């Protein structure tokens, strides 16, 4: 009887544990900002030149410096914000998506937020503002290199091969 009770209790704990699995990878920055990635998107985490790099897919890469920690969570902690807002008013995470080989679209930004593309030498190549839907389109140069995409007070390293 005792073994049957313990076995039943163990099975119930395993079933409940399956429902409580982590759904997000949350990166917490030293200044307090948090960015979350959906685990269903299969993000790949690596370290390159002292930066935490998250590859969301073949076209989207995020490089983070001054990372406090990263962990797995059940909810989207990036939407709770920190000192830096990474969320739009729709509570969806900021996304940077390659539309085609020459165009990047920023999605879910705050309306009228400045989005700019800067070369590694510091030259501003393109600058625009997010529209009312939180979208901004930036044209990439045809030359291979490292670029910095700035969305508000956040910066992302873009590598064009």
- Structure confidence by residue, pLDDT tens digits, 5-61: 455 545 454 444 444 456 777 777 777 777 777 777 777 777 777 777 777 666 667
The parent domain of residue 69 ranges over: 22-73
Our count of domains for the chain comes to: 2
Domain assignment of residue 148, yes or no: yes
Task: Please name every residue paired with 141 in a beta bridge, in sequence order, or none if there are none.
Answer: none
Whether 51 and 100 map to the same domain: the answer is no
Whether 49 and 115 map to the same domain: the answer is no
Q: Which of 7, 41, 73 is the last residue of a domain?
A: 73
| Whole-Å CA distances, 31 to 25, 147, 155, 160 | 18, 23, 14, 28
Domain assignment of residue 128, yes or no: yes
Q: Which tens digit of pLDDT belongs to each residue from 65-104?
A: 777 887 777 766 554 332 233 333 345 678 888 888 889 9
How many Cα atoms sit within 13 Å of 82 on the Cβ side? 19
pTM of the model: 0.47
């Amino acid at each position: 009887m005792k073994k049957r009770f313990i076995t039943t209790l163990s099975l119930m704990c395993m079933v409940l544990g399956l429902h409580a699995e982590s759904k997000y990878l949350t990166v917490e920055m030293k200044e307090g900002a948090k960015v979350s990635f959906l685990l269903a998107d299969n993000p790949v985490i690596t370290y390159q030149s002292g930066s935490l790099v998250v590859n969301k897919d073949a076209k989207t890469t995020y490089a983070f410096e001054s990372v406090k920690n990263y962990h797995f969570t059940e909810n989207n902690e990036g939407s709770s914000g920190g000192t830096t807002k990474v969320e739009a008013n729709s509570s969806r995470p900021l996304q940077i998506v390659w539309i085609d080989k020459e165009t990047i679209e920023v999605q879910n930004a705050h309306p009228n937020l400045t989005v700019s593309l800067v070369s590694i030498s510091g030259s501003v190549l393109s600058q625009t503002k997010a529209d009312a839907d939180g979208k901004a389109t930036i044209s990439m140069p045809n030359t291979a290199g490292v670029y910095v995409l700035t969305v508000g007070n956040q910066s992302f390293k873009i590598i064009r091969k």
